Amino acid sequence: MSTGEGKIRLRPPRNTPAPRAVGWWRARWLLLTAAPVAVLGVLGALIAPARFWLLVPAAVLAAAGLSCAVLLPLWWFRTHRWEVTDEAVYVSTGVFLREWRIAPMSRIQTVDTVRGPLEQLFGLATVTVTTASAKGAVRIEGLTHEVAAELAERLTLITRHTPGDAT
């Protein structure tokens, strides 16, 4: 990451999420869409005078949700990147609004691994690196649980031996 003159050169991080993260993102999107579609569908079936005004939005929302569930996770997979060096954690995310986060090892305060129920189903985990930054924690999503555990252990070892006070 650094040049011969001590300057850090910004480049895209090298690592991608696990390929199964695409399925996890799709499932999350479908579950998010399913609840309002189900409510509109049930209400449309029960309330005859408003049937058209409830079932049409339900169908439109279902079609939009399905389209997003198919397309967006593929796009996210192409744009989400992460990398850890001895100096910093690098994360690049976003589709329309690109965000590059760099967390120097000396600023890291905690490293957490989270595995929600849906992540567990897909064998995935999220590593959250909390820093002394007003911007908040750096999240690396869509990692296999083995990679997440290794990453958390590696970050813990690197930060332990990095001078600085993490403030």
Find out whether 166 and 107 touch, Cβ atoms under 8 Å.
yes
Domain spans, the chain: 21-76, 81-160
User: Which of 112, 78, 73 is CA-nearest to residue 92?
Assistant: 78
Tens of pLDDT, residue by residue over 49-106, are 988 899 999 999 999 999 999 999 999 999 999 999 988 999 999 878 889 998 888 8
pTM, full prediction: 0.84
Distance CA 73, CA 157 (A): 33
Tens of pLDDT, residue by residue over 144-153, are 999 999 999 9
Distance CA 125, CA 146 (A): 9
Domain 81-160 has CATH 1.20.1250.20: no
